[in-house]
Amino acid sequence: MKKGFLLAFLLVVILVVSSIMASSSEPIKLGLVGPMTGPLAPYGEGVRDGALLAVEQINSQGGINGRQVELIVLDNQANPQETITLVNRLIQREGIVGLIGPVISSTSMVAGPVVQRQGIPMISPTATAVDVTLQGDFVFRVCYLDDYQGLAAVNYAVDDLGAKKAGILFKVGDAYSEGLRVVFRDNFQAAGGEVVELAYNLGDTDFSAQLTRMKDQGVEVVYSPFYYEDAVLALTQAESIGLDAIFIGGDGWDAQELLDQAGLAAVNSVFTTHYSTSDSRSVVQGFLSNFQGKFGRPPIVLAALGYDAAALMMDAVERAGSDNPREIRDAIAATQGFEGITGQSISLDEDGNPVKDITIIRVVNVEDNPQFEFVTQVGY
Amino acid sequence: MNKHPNKIYASPILIFLGFAALIYINLQVSLDRVNFYVIGVLSVVAINIILTVSLNLINGITGQLSIGHAGFMAIGAYTTALFSIHLGTPIYFNLLVSGIAAGFVGFLIGLPTLRLRGDYLAIATLGFGEIIRVILQNLRFTGGAAGLGGIDWVDNFYLTQFMAIVVVIVVWRIGASAPGRAMVAIREDETAAETVGINTTKFKVMAFALGSFGAGIAGSLFAHRMTYIAPDGFTFMKSIEVLVMLVLGGLGSITGAIFSATLLTVLPEFLRFIDEWRMIIYPALLVTVMIFRSQGLFGTMELDFARVKSILKKVAPENLGPEKGKSNPPMQKIKALGFDSQEQKPILETKDLSISFGGLKAVKNLDMQITQGSLHGLIGPNGAGKTTVFNMLTGVHLPSSGEILFNGQRIDGNSPYSVAQAGIARTFQNIRLFKDLTVLDNVKVAFHLHADYGLGTAVARPPKFGAAERRITSEAKELLEIFKLGDHCMTIARNLPYGAQRRLEIVRALAVSPKLLLLDEPAAGMNVLETEKLMELIHWVRDEFDLTIFLIEHDMSLVMKLCQTISVLDYGMKIFEGTPEQVRKDPRVIEAYLGEEVS
């Protein structure tokens, strides 16, 4: 009798302990969707590595409320149709409680309605199209919108450079390029400036005709909303035809390759971006050295956004004190003064967009070597 | 491209397996046993089946290489997006208007481009596909490069699946009908198709518009599933993706299209655990299939429903033989006209007919009359312009000057198919059968003009359709029976012995119900015995079908014995015309044949 009681007691203890063990040891699952193969793979991989670093740091500190975090990464090749399938897979098959990504605006546009319907919060690290977060209250992002980036460029051109006449060189049919172009044009004109808009097509490598016309028109700044590959071409060609206007780029310029490939032709140009590597805050410097240590290379700018998206998501899980997706959503929405790499104090507005500073970087000549130099941070 | 028979029938077991899978999937879905993820993948499978099967109508069945399918899908998707966003119309309505919009644009684009052939057509369709995308990218009301969001979300697996089944059935039914046979004939040999009276432009445009209609439906379902669409979802690569599915399954095979669309959609999902490596497995699979089975997994093979039915009902599948006790309508019709050889009125007349190719005048000022009911021969040395005369008479070449009158009506300038419809049929010097079709289908294609039903009937299949098809089959079989080809009905034309191929070409020409039959060197490549038999045959055909026969022949003994009148052509000019005896004696003719005494 006594023996039987002891056995029963032991069984109960084992059951209780194991169930506690199970609930505390079962990881909190987060999903990440982005292009890991194909032409956009560098961006997807950057975001992934940033997010992995953030998850690793949390886990090494004992996880969230004692539970480890597992990040499940799936490759969508930047394809919208694939994205729907993958988000469904992550939610239904893997049981994620939050989604980081997708990386590209078009894929974020299709992922939004899916997470909204199934009640899983999503934080896009890098989708800049305005409509992304308007799809529902489960959709957030940590990058600023194209509007703010374009406006910051106009303010810098008008207030700091005193420009009256601006050229805009943009890529036809490219959502990023055309979006920034419109913002810059409208705001520059509203500030009393004159704008010369010239376009190029996907695959063009010779901008000298457009740049020569800008030179003839006497523009003081050239707004250049495109990625660094095209910026290298534009800068070197501008130098060779003797156009000495100041080039203003967007976050697409923020890559070491710009300096490596354009060389001194890049000197004096400025661009708006998410953070500066010379920022002395310990989060930033810690991120830079840890990233280099883990992956053996410096992070691209999107890696910082991937890191912030994952860190913000996990911060919200911790604040929610639960793995209920709805409570996590509420915690994300309530984010105030979160310290990230791309902002000392990030808050989310009612649309799910971040309120944070924009960083402006200038290329300077240090002993015949072009280098990035932090200029200023502007809030909005 | 088609070095394989047109119809090899797959095991009926495959059909049962397919249906079993379909029922199983639907049962699982209806019992809520599968999650969104799996249902989503199945919806993508269904959309890809619609795309592939509709492209099969253009590329596989009609043989026109189009690589711009994504452009038409984009039109469907954008039509749906605009209607859904601005008017909030339901998906059923959007499906219809999207299909119509894409089909209409396909019609507009098809009209000019389908005159091109092969590589040129491929480049043109590629261009149009891209133009559609670039236009969408630059129009303000389509949202430009940023695309359109806020489309009603309808991810209805049953509806998507239903649409896929409808598209498959429609394409299947078109394929097995008179219009479908006309399309297949165009794929096999466009020139031969024209000469049996098929308006190739019409059927190519029809196939193109219908295929585009299917792409529009797929685009509509796609838009409702995605809720957001942008032009970069419809690039050239999307067209290639669909083409790859089609080629992998086998150009021309609906079964293959369904199979490979399913495989290539589901496989990457299963391979996801090997990450980047799946990107290598996919192309490696394609390369392997293309090396070891270049005609695609299924070739042009289809599942054979007739065999399934025969197993179910225990009846022979092709039990479509001539119904006993009934007379043969076309032969009766022709006989009813009566034999009017007494009248000596010309059925065909050329006046001052000339044609030049560059500087070379191939035929000069030809005046000729062919008497109704006669057997008229055209002889001359090599390069005298005999086949050129045939080509002008049948509309293949446009004469530079002069007139051609058929039954008193001018037919010069008419296209080959309308000449054939008017009643002139021909055979070719180098046999031009539809080589990869069965003997029976070769003749049924030519009965195209007797099929008194259109596309709607072919798809809806009212009793009238069955009656018409039975009639065509029985007439074709009867005609083949007469020419002792009845036992070869199911033989692929290219496998027939040479003499039988010649005979089949004549049968095919007769199926057009001509009043005038042009034979281009019917005895070429035949031995003496075969020639002898052919001569009897030609005589018999002329009498039995009340025809006028105009033939080119090198074999002098054949011409001399067979023809009542002979025209002699040399250097494009008619140098003599008369009875065989007169021809044999004429010095000009002898000289033209290098002094050779004509036996």
Condensed to tens digits (0 to 9), the pLDDT of residues B534-591 reads 888 888 888 888 899 999 987 777 888 889 999 999 888 898 899 988 888 888 888 8
Overall domain count for chain B? 2
User: Is B202 among the domain residues?
Assistant: yes
**Same domain for B178 and B250?**
yes
**Same domain for B148 and B216?**
yes
Burial of residue A166 (number of CB atoms within 10 Å: 0-12, 13-18, 19+): buried
Q: How far is A349 from chain B (nearest CA, A)?
A: 22
pLDDT range class, residue B146, cuts 50, 70, 90: confident
Q: Which of B312, B329, B359 is the last residue of a domain?
A: B312
Instruction: Name the region of B53 (left: φ>0; alpha: ψ -120 to 50; beta: rest).
Output: alpha
DSSP string, B116-174: S-HHHHHHHHHHHHHHHHHHHHH-TTTTGGG-EE-------HHHHHHHHHHHHHHHHHH
Respond yes or no on whether ipTM tops 0.90: no
Residue the block writes with tokens 């909303």: A225
For chain A, the straight-line distance linking the first and the last C-alpha, in angstroms and rounded, comes to 75
Q: Do B230 and A174 touch (CB under 8 A)?
A: no
**Same domain for B392 and B525?**
yes
**Same domain for B15 and B123?**
yes
Q: Do A80 and B228 touch (CB under 8 A)?
A: yes
Q: How far is A45 from chain B (nearest CA, A)?
A: 12
Mutation to test the A interface, candidates B29, B34, B35, B37, most A Cβ within 10 Å: B37
**B382 pLDDT exceeds 60?**
yes
Q: Region B385-411: what's the mean pLDDT?
A: 91
Topology, domain A147-273+359-378:
Rossmann fold (3.40.50)
**Same domain for B249 and B359?**
no
Q: What is the DSSP letter of B67?
A: -
User: Is B210 among the domain residues?
Assistant: yes
Identity of the residue in B146, B269, B279 whose CB atom sits nearest the CB atom of A179: B146
* B287 backbone dihedrals φ, ψ, rounded to 5°: -60, -45
pLDDT of residue B295: 79
pLDDT of residue A15: 56
How far apart CA A90 and CA B436 sit, in angstroms, is: 49
Q: How far is B245 from chain A (nearest CA, A)?
A: 17
Q: What is the helix (H) or strand (E) element at residue B49, kind and residue range? A: helix B36-55
**A2 pLDDT exceeds 60?**
no
**Same domain for B398 and B529?**
yes
Instruction: Check if A263 contacts B (Cβ < 8 Å).
Output: no
**B289 pLDDT exceeds 50?**
yes
Q: Do B233 and A81 touch (CB under 8 A)?
A: yes
Q: How far is B505 from chain A (nearest CA, A)?
A: 51
Q: Do A85 and B44 touch (CB under 8 A)?
A: yes
How far apart CA A90 and CA B561 sit, in angstroms, is: 84
> Domain range for residue B531?
343-423+514-592
**B161 pLDDT exceeds 90?**
yes
Instruction: Check if A95 contacts B (Cβ < 8 Å).
Output: no
Strands A369-378 vs A358-366: parallel, antiparallel or unpaired: antiparallel
Interface of A with B in 177-216 (CB under 8 A): 178-179
Helices within A142-207 (DSSP H only):
146-155, 175-190
Strands B516-520 vs A98-100: parallel, antiparallel or unpaired: unpaired
Token couple for B582: 């007169």
pLDDT of residue B199: 92
Q: How many CB pairs under 8 A join A and B?
A: 79
Residue type, A263: G
Query: Is B78 or B274 the better-scoring residue by pLDDT?
Result: B78
Mutation to test the A interface, candidates B32, B35, B36, most A Cβ within 10 Å: B36
pLDDT of residue B321: 35
Taking every pair of Cα atoms in chain B, the longest distance, rounded to a whole number of angstroms, is: 93
Find the closest chain B residue to A111 by CA distance: B226
- Give the distance, in angstroms, between the CA of residue A133 and the centroid of all CA atoms in the same chain: 14
**Same domain for B291 and B388?**
no
Instruction: Check if A116 contacts B (Cβ < 8 Å).
Output: no
pTM (predicted TM-score): 0.82
- Give the distance, in angstroms, between the CA of residue B497 and the centroid of all CA atoms in the same chain: 24
**Same domain for B407 and B284?**
no
Residue type, B24: Y
Token couple for B531: 């020639």
How far apart CA B14 and CA B35 sit, in angstroms, is: 27
Q: Do B233 and A109 touch (CB under 8 A)?
A: no
User: Is B320 among the domain residues?
Assistant: no
Query: Is B473 or B316 the better-scoring residue by pLDDT?
Result: B473
Q: How far is B265 from chain A (nearest CA, A)?
A: 10
Q: Region B307-319: what's the mean pLDDT?
A: 45
How far apart CA B492 and CA B434 sit, in angstroms, is: 9
Length of chain A: 380
Taking every pair of Cα atoms in chain A, the longest distance, rounded to a whole number of angstroms, is: 103
* pLDDT tens track for A271-293: 999 999 988 899 999 999 999 99
Q: Do A178 and B144 touch (CB under 8 A)?
A: yes
pLDDT of residue B531: 85
Whichever domain contains B246, its CATH number is 1.10.3470
pLDDT range class, residue A12, cuts 50, 70, 90: low
Chain A residues touching B272 at Cβ < 8 A: 74
Chain B residues touching A112 at Cβ < 8 A: 228
* pLDDT tens track for B164-200: 999 999 999 998 899 999 999 999 999 999 999 999 9
Question: Can you give the residue ranges of every domain in chain A?
Answer: 23-144+280-348, 147-273+359-378
With contact defined as beta carbons under 8 Å apart, do B6 and B441 qualify?
yes
Chain A residues touching B147 at Cβ < 8 A: 106, 109, 175
**Above pLDDT 90, what percent of chain B?**
40
pLDDT of residue A142: 95
Q: Do A173 and B134 touch (CB under 8 A)?
A: yes
**Same domain for B413 and B554?**
yes
* pLDDT tens track for B98-136: 999 999 999 999 888 888 877 888 899 999 999 999 899
pLDDT range class, residue B335, cuts 50, 70, 90: very low
Q: Region B410-429: what's the mean pLDDT?
A: 91
Whichever domain contains B408, its CATH number is 3.40.50.300
Instruction: Check if A281 contacts B (Cβ < 8 Å).
Output: no
User: Residues with Cβ < 8 Å from A352, sequence gap 6 or more?
Assistant: A133, A137, A139, A140, A141, A332, A333
Burial of residue B125 (number of CB atoms within 10 Å: 0-12, 13-18, 19+): buried
pLDDT range class, residue B336, cuts 50, 70, 90: very low
Q: What average pLDDT is seen over chain A?
A: 90
* pLDDT tens track for A66-118: 899 999 999 998 888 889 989 999 998 889 999 998 998 889 999 999 999 99
**Above pLDDT 70, what percent of chain A?**
93
User: Residues with Cβ < 8 Å from B170, sequence gap 6 or more?
Assistant: B459
User: Residues with Cβ < 8 Å from B289, sequence gap 6 or more?
Assistant: B248, B296, B297
pLDDT of residue B413: 87
**Same domain for B51 and B160?**
yes
User: Is B208 among the domain residues?
Assistant: yes
Tell the CATH superfamily of the A23-144+280-348 domain.
Response regulator (3.40.50.2300)
- Lowest pLDDT segment from A127-136, B26-35, B61-70: B26-35
Q: Three-class SS string for B419-475?
A: HHHHCEEECCCCCCCCCCCEHHHHHHHHHHHHCCCCHHHHHHCCHHHHHHHHHHHHH
pLDDT of residue B529: 85
Q: What average pLDDT is seen over chain B?
A: 84
pLDDT of residue B406: 93
Calculate ∠ Cα A339-A99-A226, nearest 5°: 70
**Same domain for B360 and B287?**
no
Please indicate whether the domains covering A23-144+280-348 and A147-273+359-378 agree at the CATH topology level.
yes
Query: Is A5 or B270 the better-scoring residue by pLDDT?
Result: B270
Q: What is each CA distance from B362 to A293, B551, B559, B574, in whole angstroms?
A: 83, 19, 23, 12
**A4 pLDDT exceeds 80?**
no
- Give the distance, in angstroms, between the CA of residue A332 and the centroid of all CA atoms in the same chain: 17
With contact defined as beta carbons under 8 Å apart, do A66 and B305 qualify?
no
**B337 pLDDT exceeds 80?**
no
**Same domain for B269 and B165?**
yes
